[in-house]
Amino acid sequence: MLLEVRAVGRKTPQDGRLDISESTFRRLTIIGDRLQGRVGESVAPATLERRACQRCSTHAESGGEHLFVVSEAFRSLAPGEHCVLELADDAVTIEVSRPHPLSP
C-alpha cells in the first residue's frame, strides 16, 4: 500500500529519522511496536516519534510538531532524494524505494 512520496531530510543519514505526514503517522500507529524499516536489503526495527520544534522552515515562527518513522535502515538514504514509502504485504514493513522520479 502506497503511504506517500517524500524528500529525504538533511539529518536522516545521521539519525535515521524520516519525516512523515500526519495521515501516514496515524496509519502506522495501528501497527505499533512490530514496525520494520527496509531500504533495499537493509532491514531494521522501526519506531514512530513526535518531536516539537520552535522555528523551522516548515513551521516558521509558530512552532509545531514533526512526525517521524525512525529506523537504522533509513541511514542509507541521501538528503534531498525523493523516495516512496510503502507498507509491504506483511503489513508491518515500511519499504522505502529510492531514488524516485516522483516528487511530493
pLDDT, tens only, 88-100: 999 999 999 876 6
Count how many domains the chain has. 1
Q: Model pTM?
A: 0.84
**CATH number (domain holding residue 82):** 2.40.330.10
Record the cell numbers describing residue 83, joined without a space. 523516495
Question: What residues are paired with 44 via a beta bridge?
Answer: 37
Question: Is the distance from CB of 39 to CB of 98 less than 8 angstroms?
Answer: yes
Rg (CA), the chain: 13
In-domain check, residue 8: yes
In-domain check, residue 103: no
- Average pLDDT, integer, range 8-33: 94
* Angstrom distance (rounded) from CA 28 to CA 44: 16
pLDDT over 70 at 32, yes or no: yes
In-domain check, residue 79: yes
In-domain check, residue 54: yes
Q: Which domain holds residue 57?
A: 2-96
In-domain check, residue 55: yes
pLDDT over 50 at 59, yes or no: no
